[in-house]
Amino acid sequence: MKKTIYSLLFFFLVGNILAQQTPADKQKTPFSIEGATAHLGNGEIIENALIMFNEGKITFVGSAMTKIARMGTVINAKGKHIYPGFIAANATLGLVEIDAVKASDDEDEIGAMNPHIRSIIAYNAESKVVESMRPNGVLMAQITPRGGVISGTSSVVQLDAWNWEDAAIKTDGGIHINWPGSFTRGRWWLGEDPALKPDTKYGSRAEQVKTYFENAKLYLSGKKEKTHLPYEATAGLFDGSKRLYIHINGQKEITDAIHTAKELGINKITIVRAEGADKIADFLVKNNVSVILNRPHRNPNSEDDAYDSTYTIAKTLTEKGVIVSIGMEGQMERMNTRNIPFYAGTFAAHGLAKEEAVKLITLNAAKILGIDNFTGSLEVGKDATLFISEGDALEMRGNRLTEAFIQGRKISLETHQTNLWKRYANKYKSK
């Protein structure tokens, strides 16, 4: 009995250490943030800015010199920086909790052609990994299924929610395909050299993808006597309500994939991962194709590539006029999603203007994901999804959040990790 009381006491004293952070309530009072350097997300910057928002929407963006009444709670952010909430494109947050624990893995459904598989269903709004995004300014993410040829359909969420319905800010907005690669590995168990060499089946694999969508199109234009769920799911690609995300590397493959999509009458196209896209930037611009780059913190493909070859691609593409964002795909991708600001920073270190780098993970991402009409930049009328950082948020040592808001709701910046931090820091302090 006594023990129970103590543990209850402990629970209340230290806070909800074991539970996830409780989502914030709707914005009830207005906020005015004054004095910060505002990075608007559209490439512009306002020094000594004033940002005001109410009922979840931004009501004022301008200079703090403006003579206008400050609404509600005033936050003095002098010397600090304010940014629109960062957006992680092509992420799998909430689909897997612990990489190596199969029971916690919901990212890859069986089957090759899965346009009907919807990521939003498995999105765990209470994931400990999800909440760890927020102290780094990552407040929205595109939740993307993985695997197969057609992986499924993605949705966009905000990262402070009770459940997936609550979290969704754009449902079923994109279909993701893995375009075949044109290289194959030798089958070492048959004595072949395991190195990569041209895949003779590339052509037929690419044809398979094309045929699938052609059949879907024929089905959709027909009587549909028997419902074909996967084909139904592709309808948005042809009527322009959904975007086709093609995950692929290599200039040849990218070119083939875009030609195929165009022939199929699909007009909203984004290339994901996109190594080699810089070599065909003009072609991408001409076809209005945007790009979600993989994180630059990875090794160059070939030992002859320059050490910074993964760092400079954003600059090249941006200068050519391609809309570029950053995504996560590969090893430890969920945990590393919180490093997306630093990936933008790396692109800035290697040629991209700093505000252009901010744009990669704000307005550009919003444009690609189709949410730029209500978020992605600090503009009047848009969602008040933003945060204040003590320094340059693209820098490890500058990215230190003091406040963050999603749809005007002041969210908690505590996490499973900060709780453990405080618990143990206190343990030694009290000694």
Binding residues (CB under 8 A) for another protein: these are 97-101, 128-129, 183, 193, 195-198, 251-252, 297-304, 306-308, 332, 334-335, 338-339, 342, 345-346, 348-349, 394-397, 399-400, 417-418, 420-421, 424-425, 428, 431
Least separation in angstroms between residue 297's CB and another protein is 6
Nearest to another protein of 208, 251 (CB atom):
251
In 159-234 the beta strands, taken as DSSP E runs, fall at: 168-178, 183-185, 196-198
Least separation in angstroms between residue 329's CB and another protein is 15
Least separation in angstroms between residue 124's CB and another protein is 13
Neighbours of 163 (CB within 10 A): 12
- DSSP, collapsed to helix, strand or coil, labels residue 10 as helix
Least separation in angstroms between residue 300's CB and another protein is 8
Q: Which amino acid is at 84?
A: P
Residue 58 contacts residue 380 (beta carbons within 8 Å): yes
Nearest to another protein of 76, 417 (CB atom):
417
d(CA 298, CA 301): 9
d(CA 128, CA 11): 19
The DSSP secondary structure of 109-120, one letter per residue, reads: -SSSB-TT-BGG
Best CA proximity match to 243, nearest among 289, 180, 179: 289
The DSSP secondary structure of 25-89, one letter per residue, reads: PPP-S-EEEEEEEEE-SSS-EEEEEEEEEETTEEEEEEETTS--PPPSEEEE-TT-EEEEPEEEE
Least separation in angstroms between residue 146's CB and another protein is 16
Least separation in angstroms between residue 172's CB and another protein is 27
Least separation in angstroms between residue 70's CB and another protein is 30
d(CA 386, CA 183): 43
Nearest to another protein of 244, 348 (CB atom):
348
Nearest to another protein of 319, 395 (CB atom):
395
Nearest to another protein of 294, 375 (CB atom):
294
Nearest to another protein of 197, 201 (CB atom):
197
Nearest to another protein of 215, 299 (CB atom):
299
d(CA 356, CA 349): 11
d(CA 179, CA 173): 19
Find where tokens 């900060």 sit: 418
Nearest to another protein of 133, 177 (CB atom):
133
- DSSP, collapsed to helix, strand or coil, labels residue 300 as coil
Best CA proximity match to 292, nearest among 267, 263, 319, 269: 269
Least separation in angstroms between residue 316's CB and another protein is 15
